[in-house]
Amino acid sequence: MSTDTSPSNFVAPELEEIAELLPSFEVLSFIAKGGMGAVYLAKQKSLDREVAIKILPRHFGEDATFQTSFESEAKSMAKLNHPNLIGIYDFGQIDGMLYIVMEMVHGTSLYHASYGKKIDPMEAGRIICEICHGLDNAHQQGILHRDIKPANILLNDQLSPKIGDFGLARPVGDHEADSAFGTPGYTAPEVIHHPSAVDESTDLYSVGVMLYELLTSKLPEKLYMPAANLVQCDPRFDDIISKAMNPNPILRFRTAKSMAEAIDTILSEKKSPTVSNRLVTSPSPAGGSAHPPRTLSPPVYIKKSSSPAIRNTIIIIVLLAAIYGAWEFYQKKKVQRAAENALIIEQNEQSKIEAAEKNAKLKEKGAREAQARKEARLKMIAEIQAANKELTPQLIKPIPELFVKCPELEEVRKKCYGLVDKIQKKFSGKSQSQFLQETEELRGFYRNKLTEIKTTLQTKGMNDQARTVDQELNATKVTGQAFVDYILGNN
């Protein structure tokens, strides 16, 4: 579902109103209200179970396109069945308002549980590992989340994470369904700069950001500072984070399951039968001091040997074994990293070749388009000169600049036309000031969308279409009724 563009004066329906419209549920209490609607705690009478009911603002139900998208996404999410995903039970429309019935999770969000705190590395690894398992289930069903962040992760009574709010979810490969871009700081670069490259690894980029944030209590910066330099944690966590957050999607983990397995390798080696913590946290001190979170360890008692010689011999043997084990581990790690580096170099070279081929094709296409425009212009000049043989060259008017068609512009202009027509009908014979206010808001939204399209086209090297969009931007600098007349007159 697309991000909310509704007015901020949405009023959540009263409990009695919801109970009357949904008689099969006993509405118990109001939970919260947000940009996409209001959430209520209720009991499903037929199955005697608690559920959460989310009611969307009325204007969403009036939008046929949004309603179709909502129903499609609800059906897709209802297929998901995993302990780390919030279940979807039902959906529908009541009194013009769309609603969805979900699993009720008693607990808090990961955002509220971890904000400003450094989570014990083992606990952070456990939480992220379970999130990966939930995402893997969704990805296997062909669904991307596209907005993974701590606020969209709920922790139940057992502190097990559950992924919710698939508000931006889309089937794999659906890149043009809306203009939602996720949350700054957690969003992979291709979401904005190369939407066609969005895939399962885009969600894993956000998971890598969350792992770093849980360990260090802050988001990664442009100049990456390893988490192991800020807190006391296994350096292999940084290897996992770096791979998950690689700017090149093809160099990230290819599946959520493979990322979970990498984390589980660390957890398995670190597990101790005498220690059991659940979300051990410590507040991040002022100034960003890198003191690690502390866990309680049982006291260790060493029985004194009756012979110092025997005791010293045992200590030496243990030290030698530890040194040999460390050397073996170092050699294996060295070989593994050399293999990974060779693979990365090979993949980078392949990416460079593909990029060079793509740029060559774009240049060739641009040259063809430029030549076609030149020929068309020369042909037009020749026709004008032939039709005006008796006129002096000074009387020939300059030929206007030719622009190529832009499908993205045509699509967004068509949508804008529909909205302008709807606003005009809505305020026909009513307050002119309110009509102009909504028209101006639509104009701002339309111009912002045009700017996004222009930037994307320029990034792809499609400068001819970008100039067409730029012409539309210049034409929509007018305000009020002039903007309405322009939109309606051009469709």
157 in active site: no
Query: Please, which pLDDT band fits residue 326 given cuts at 50, 70 and 90?
Result: confident
Query: Do 51 and 116 share a domain, yes or no?
Result: no
Q: With CA atoms as reference, report the closest residue to 128 among 3, 27, 213.
A: 213
Domain-embedded: residue 475: yes
Domain housing 88: 15-103
Range of lowest pLDDT (13-22, 59-68, 205-214): 59-68
Domain-embedded: residue 146: yes
What CATH number has the domain bearing residue 158?
A: 1.10.510.10
Range of lowest pLDDT (81-95, 129-143, 179-193, 220-234): 179-193
Domain-embedded: residue 219: yes
**Model's pTM, two decimal places?**
0.54
Query: Do 189 and 267 share a domain, yes or no?
Result: yes
Task: Say which of 120, 136, 147, 199 is annotated catalytic.
Answer: 147
Query: Please, which pLDDT band fits residue 425 given cuts at 50, 70 and 90?
Result: confident
pLDDT in tens, 90-113: 999 999 999 999 999 998 899 999
Greater model confidence, 188 or 314: 188
Range of lowest pLDDT (3-7, 220-224, 311-315, 449-453): 3-7
What does the pLDDT read at residue 25?
96
Greater model confidence, 236 or 434: 236
What does the pLDDT read at residue 2?
36
Query: Do 174 and 220 share a domain, yes or no?
Result: yes
Query: Do 78 and 130 share a domain, yes or no?
Result: no
Query: Do 137 and 269 share a domain, yes or no?
Result: yes
Domain-embedded: residue 383: no
Domain-embedded: residue 71: yes
Query: Do 41 and 145 share a domain, yes or no?
Result: no
Query: Do 33 and 180 share a domain, yes or no?
Result: no
**283, 306, 337 - which closes a domain:** 283
Query: Do 97 and 220 share a domain, yes or no?
Result: no
Q: With CA atoms as reference, report the closest residue to 73 among 159, 168, 150.
A: 168
Domain-embedded: residue 133: yes
Number of domains observed in the structure of the chain: 3
Taking the CB of residue 208, how many other CB atoms lie within 10 A of it? 25
Query: Do 127 and 213 share a domain, yes or no?
Result: yes
**103, 125, 156 - which closes a domain:** 103
Query: Do 411 and 462 share a domain, yes or no?
Result: yes
What percentage of the chain has pLDDT greater than the value 70?
A: 82
**283, 306, 334 - which closes a domain:** 283
Q: Does residue 46 have a pLDDT over 70? A: yes
What CATH number has the domain bearing residue 69?
A: 3.30.200.20
Query: Do 125 and 259 share a domain, yes or no?
Result: yes
HEC string of the chain? CCCCCCCCCCCCCCHHHHHHHCCCEEEEEEEEEECCEEEEEEEECCCCEEEEEEECCHHHHCCHHHHHHHHHHHHHHHCCCCCCECCEEEEEEECCEEEEEEECCCCEEHHHHHCCEEECHHHHHHHHHHHHHHHHHHHHCCEECCCCCHHHEEECCCCCEEECCCCCCEECCCCCCCCCCCCCCCCCCHHHHCHHHCCHHHHHHHHHHHHHHHHHCCCCCCCCCCHHHHCCCCCHHHHHHHHHCCCCHHHCCCCHHHHHHHHHHHHHHHCCCCCCCCCCEEECCCCCCCCCCCCCCCCCCCCCCCCHHHHHHHHHHHHHHHHHHHHHHHHHHHHHHHHHHHHHHHHHHHHHHHHHHHHHHHHHHHHHHHHHHHHHHHHHHHHHHHHCCCCCHHHCCCCCCCCCCCHHHHHHHHHHHHHHHHHHHHCCCCCHHHHHHHHHHHHHHHHHHHHHHHHHHHHCCCHHHHHHHHHHHHHCCCCCHHHHHHHHHCC
- Rounded average pLDDT over 133-148: 92
Average pLDDT, the chain: 81
Domain-embedded: residue 399: no
What does the pLDDT read at residue 387?
59
What does the pLDDT read at residue 461?
87
pLDDT in tens, 339-386: 888 888 888 888 889 888 888 888 888 888 888 877 876 776 676 666
Query: Do 39 and 182 share a domain, yes or no?
Result: no
pLDDT in tens, 164-191: 877 544 444 554 444 445 789 999 998 8
Domain-embedded: residue 440: yes
pLDDT in tens, 253-309: 999 999 999 999 999 987 754 333 456 444 443 334 333 443 333 333 333 444 567
Tell me how far the alpha carbon of residue 211 is from its chain's centroid.
Answer: 16
